[in-house]
A = this chain, B = another copy of it.
């Protein structure tokens, strides 16, 4: 398969006002804050116990080595509360280990961006801690190591061991790339070898309940060129959803139908899956691994499956913000066009996973739609997951919030009207940290002779084709200048953003294909692109029942929203004036609208034309909402 590779984050130096601020925020605030969180040092926040579990696991291994017996605890649950359990047992969710792995990964990318000796030494200590918690056979998982090592791999469906392995492997690879230090990489390779043996052709015929091991094994394969890892990833993918269901065998159940495993995308062999179903994060992590595997094994059928799944998600199941997984029940996809605004789940991690999937699709299929989705997620449903000060987070990213409903209506208890300091299940915060630190990795892809520009921001990028200095005014005027210091002739391909009706290039005669404008570069060159970011009124496909008669406002990659802070209470009473004039002040947008008056207290009255007041509506970028205290928010407005 003819494929492109991403330009490494290491070779992209972000200088962009918008994105540099984010990566620096992650480095200076988020990463140190999260270290505290993993160490239970944030006041009034849910304790993590993640670091504590690693320490305890290491101590227990040490004791066992010395022949000292250690107590055995239950391994039946998903969550172990420190309030009820013995102090020598595991605390937290069974997947708690992954938070430390994601933290190390975030540190790794951050070190690629900016040297930071203190942070590196802290990460070294975290690596030491993880390695100390590795068993002789290579196994690393504090839950089973602490509670009962004999039960390892006995509950793949629910217990996230292979998921934690995946995050550890990604951390090991990232830390090696960033620092050249191979201690963690070697440890996870030992663990991967143990897994490859355990789950090999003569081993357990299982696969991961929460996917990620597939894409992590591919990263190990890329870092080590050891084909065993690719082979194991493919094994997991090929086995998934085949009959008899492994999860049935494991649990001594006969589910009798494939309905049980929708949640895990294990209801059908993956190549027969044409619709995205189940837990959204699991889904896009699996599809990412499938796309990787398809690329490396030349599996066209698998790639076509990935294409169908990507289209199903993005054409039928994705919020305008890039949020996916509309239901809180199972954090899951429901059905086509079911995109309720106020009940949305749209987990931050799911949008992050969609970026992973999109980037991998882009590597195999040079179509701008994949980068468009990355952009949509990054500027909206992912950034919304973190406060502007980097110290609080959303897990759920709704498109409409009525704070009273979050408190008084149990159906909306999952929706928080303010960001939280930390979560009992804290997958999202470290996931944002690792993605934002690694932003550079998503900007460019290249083949032997084409350099693809997927995302636009000020930066310098180094490739064997050229060193390129980019000066971007993408978010304001839409103008982006590329100073190309050419090393050898190549083609440069610029993504034409999905939202852009008017674009121009300073260089003439581009060849346009699949949303990219291609130019031949033979010598040093300077190209200015301009993607005019107009303010747009966007409507949903009429199949989206929730938004009939409503519209959203966008400008460039940003989706906008109304907040109570600017527009008063009862946002649902507002409507946009017909063909309104919009004013853009560099960030927020204003336009004329109307606010319906209250008339009397009756619950039901005979219809009469509503009286309305002319008002000025103020829209702010969606990702910035809830940074000024608790208030109502709505992306959509009646139009």
Residues on A lying within 8 angstroms of B by beta carbon are 314-316, 318, 320, 327-330, 332, 334-335, 337-338, 343, 402, 404-405, 408-411, 536-545, 548-549, 551-552, 570, 572-573, 575, 596-598, 600-608, 610, 638-639
Contact = CB atoms under 8 A, between A and B. Distances in A.
Contact of A541 (B318, B320, B601): B601
Contact of A411 (B320, B343, B602): B343
B538 A410 contact: no
B596 A541 contact: no
A327 B413 CA distance: 12
A337 B610 CA distance: 18
29 contacts: A314-B603, A315-B602, A320-B604, A327-B411, A329-B409, A330-B410, A334-B408, A335-B404, A335-B405, A335-B409, A338-B409, A537-B607, A538-B606, A539-B604, A539-B606, A539-B608, A539-B610, A540-B603, A540-B604, A541-B602, A541-B603, A542-B573, A542-B610, A543-B570, A544-B603, A545-B570, A549-B549, A549-B575, A549-B638
Contacts of A314: 603
A330 B413 CA distance: 13
A337 B570 CA distance: 12
B639 A601 contact: no
Contacts of A548: 572-573, 596, 638
Given A338-B405, A539-B607, 19 more contacts: A315-B601, A315-B603, A316-B603, A327-B409, A329-B411, A332-B410, A334-B408, A335-B409, A337-B603, A343-B411, A536-B606, A539-B606, A540-B604, A541-B603, A542-B573, A542-B598, A543-B570, A545-B572, A549-B638
A398 to B, nearest CB: 13
Closest 5 CB pairs of A and B: A329-B410, A537-B607, A335-B408, A334-B409, A545-B572
Contacts of A544: 603
B604 A541 contact: yes
A2 B402 CA distance: 45
Nearest to A402: B545
Nearest to A638: B549
A125 to B, nearest CB: 41
A536 B608 CA distance: 11
A178 to B, nearest CB: 37
A604 B538 contact: yes
Nearest to A554: B604
A573 B610 CA distance: 22
A538 B610 contact: no
A603 B596 CA distance: 29
A506 B329 CA distance: 60
A549 to B, nearest CB: 6
Contacts of A537: 606-607
A278 to B, nearest CB: 12
A542 B596 contact: yes
A380 to B, nearest CB: 12
Contacts of A338: 405, 408-409
A570 B601 CA distance: 32
Contacts of A603: 314-316, 318, 337, 540-541, 544
Contacts of A600: 541
Nearest to A578: B609
Nearest to A537: B607
A597 B168 CA distance: 51
A217 B536 CA distance: 65
Contacts of A327: 409-411
Contact of A328 (B316, B405, B411): B411
Contacts of A410: 327, 329-330, 332, 334
A405 B545 CA distance: 11
A545 B342 CA distance: 11
A573 B575 CA distance: 19
A409 B544 CA distance: 14
A344 to B, nearest CB: 11
Nearest to A607: B537
A591 to B, nearest CB: 13
Contacts of A598: 541-543
A598 B601 CA distance: 38
Contacts of A549: 549, 575, 638
Contacts of A536: 606-607
A608 B540 CA distance: 11
Nearest to A572: B545
A589 to B, nearest CB: 15
A598 B542 CA distance: 6
Given A329-B410, A330-B410, A410-B327, A605 B538 contact: yes
A552 B605 CA distance: 10
Given A409-B327, A411-B343, A539 B639 contact: no
Nearest to A343: B411
A337 B402 CA distance: 12
Nearest to A335: B408
A549 B327 CA distance: 26
A343 B541 CA distance: 22
Contact of A607 (B328, B538, B570): B538
A506 B332 CA distance: 63
Contacts of A408: 334-335, 338
Given A411-B327, A542-B573, A596-B548, A639 B607 contact: yes
A604 B408 CA distance: 32
A575 B549 CA distance: 10
A342 to B, nearest CB: 8
A411 B411 contact: yes
A602 B316 CA distance: 8
A514 to B, nearest CB: 17
